[in-house]
Amino acid sequence: MALASVLPLLLVPRPIVSPRPTAAGRFLSLSAPLSTAAPAPAPVEPLKAGGRLARLQPLHAASCCNSASAAASGGVEAARAKGLQLVAWYLLSLDKHPVATKAVTSAVLTLAGDLICQLVIDKVPELDLKRTFVFTLLGLVLVGPTLHFWYLYLSKLVTISGTSGVISRLLLDQFVFSPVFIGVFMSLLVTLEGKPSLVVPKLKQEWFSSLIANWQLWIPFQFLNFYFVPQKLQVLAANFVALAWNVILSYKAHKKVIAE
């Protein structure tokens, strides 16, 4: 009885469903397999702890290193440019004001030489400012101008070129000029320090040993100076050795005179 009532429903024909167009203009069939549907997005694999940070750290470190390297390179280039500007300015000053430039340079070197002598060699508990002032003053008014005119005169006096000319200038500089100049410098130094009565004892005690030290230091250097350096730059070249010589000269000139 129940089967008889359901049977007419089963025999009724089903309506045919027409396919509907998709957004892409293609037909999606109801009978199409499910696999033709749009694939689901692939699951995102979670980053391990610190993974992204670990990848970024080398890049950041490399960037910092490059920045530091560029900054250091820029600093070196800037320092080099400033150094070249200073040298150019000094050479220009030598051309325009040769005597004044050499006098100031000698003053700075005598100042530094006396300070080094007092602090490093004599190890004084307190600086003798009067001694430093007199020593620096002689560098300004005596050493710089005298060396300027002496080297100028020497280049005109000895016109021989080559090794013979160098040796001739060296002999005149070390065995004629230096003995006289060291004696005059010590005499003026002791006098200006208020001890004129010690001039002769000081010369007897320190002049010859100072001359020997002068020869040991200056003969090798002056040979190279006269041989390779133009006359205009010879005082400048001598200034590089003058600092050491000023320390020696300050020590010799201020040694206590031993009474005979």
How many DSSP H helices and E strands does the chain contain?
10, 2
The residue type of 107 is: A
Amino acid at 52: R
Q: How confident is the model at residue 51 (pLDDT cuts 50, 70, 90)?
A: low
**Residue 124 domain flag:** yes
- Say whether pTM exceeds 0.85: no
Residue 216, in any domain of the structure: yes
Q: What is the pLDDT of residue 69?
A: 64
* CB 28 within 8 Å of CB 22: yes
Query: Above 70 in pLDDT, residue 99?
Result: yes
| Domain count along the chain | 1
Which residues span the domain enclosing 249? Answer: 98-253
What per-residue confidence (pLDDT) applies to 29? 42
Q: What is the pLDDT of residue 28?
A: 40
Query: pLDDT band at residue 126, thresholds of 50, 70 and 90?
Result: very high
pLDDT tens digits for 209-222? 999 999 999 999 99
Residue 101, C-beta contacts closer than 8 angstroms, at least 6 positions apart: 90, 93, 94
Burial class (CB in 10 A: 0-12, 13-18, 19+), 16: exposed
Which structure tokens are listed for 71?
């900054």
Residue 82 or residue 120, greater confidence: 120
For residue 198, being part of any structural domain is answered with yes
